[in-house]
Structure 1
Amino acid sequence: MPAPRTPRRVASVIRLHPEQEEKYRELHRSVPQPVLDTLSRAHVTSYSIFLRDHTLFAYYEYTGDDYDADMAAIAADPETQRWWTLTDPCQQPLDSAEPGERWVDAEEVFHLD
């Protein structure tokens, strides 16, 4: 039997507009089930978003075989797109984000198994 695949760990960051914090928290108290289902179908697990000093830090594990295709499927999902119309106005990309980029990847500098 083959050994289980080691998940790909993904972390990203974005700023949260301070005046939008309560709205953002409220939205995430009841993420729509179709959005959660889309993430699961795309092999996203252990997804968490943390907040500190108006900076959001997201972490998830990816267990699939084609990361780019699965991320494209998430982006193409109409329910996820609708969800983003609610969450995106709460966020402000970091200064280091490329034009059109929202959440930016964070570099993993340490991991303990």
Structure 2
Amino acid sequence: MSQRHILICDLKNDPALIEKYKEYHAPGNAWPEITESIVSSGITGMEIFLAGNRLVMIMTTTDDFDPAAKAAADGSNPKVQEWETLMDTFQQRLPFAEDGVKWVEAERIFSLVN
């Protein structure tokens, strides 16, 4: 089995910054240490979609995925911290996000299952 997580974040509303962010996330451009940290944490799939300056991340994980453990591992990984600092130049927090939270998990309010 697996779990699906939907997370939302905004980019700064600057077309040049948005294009640069897209370049960092183009196929093959994410740093290998970042993809390794993602895969090794139990994330089995990840997609990021962009509409205007709003980002939506769809993440598939193993059933035993632990977001707190992922955050702790990322906090002690210098390369992940370097990446996060770089991404902060493009991203901005949602106005309703709690302090220190960049990606806010969305609440599912509807599901059509056939």
CA distance in 2, matches of 1:111, 1:59: 17
**What is the distance in 1 between the residues matched to 2:41 and 2:94?**
26
Matched with 1:89 is 89
- Relative to its length, the structure with more helix (as a share) is 1
- Contact kept? 1:10, 1:59, Cα under 8 Å: yes
Give 1:64 shift.
5.1
Distance 2:80 2:33 in 1: 8
2:59 corresponds in structure 1 to: 60
Secondary structure class of the residue paired with 1:15:
strand
Q: 1:32/1:112 Cα in 2 relative to 1: closer, same or farther (>3 Å)?
A: farther
How much does 1:66 deviate? 4.8
CA distance in 2, matches of 1:66, 1:10: 11
Distance in structure 1 (CA, Å) of the matches to 2:72 and 2:21: 24
TM-score (norm 2): 0.84
- 1:8 Cα shift? 1.5
Distance apart, 1:48 and its partner CA: 0.5
Percent identity at matched positions?
A: 31
* Ranges of 4+ aligned residues in structure 1 off by more than 6 Å: none
The alpha carbon displacement at 1:111 in A equals 6.1
Partner of 2:9: 14
Q: How many residues align?
A: 108
TM, length-normalised to structure 1: 0.84
Report the equivalent of 1:3. none
Q: Is the 8 A contact 1:27 1:87 kept in 2?
A: no
Cα offset, 1:55, TM superposition:
0.2
* Residue identity opposite 2:83 in structure 1: W
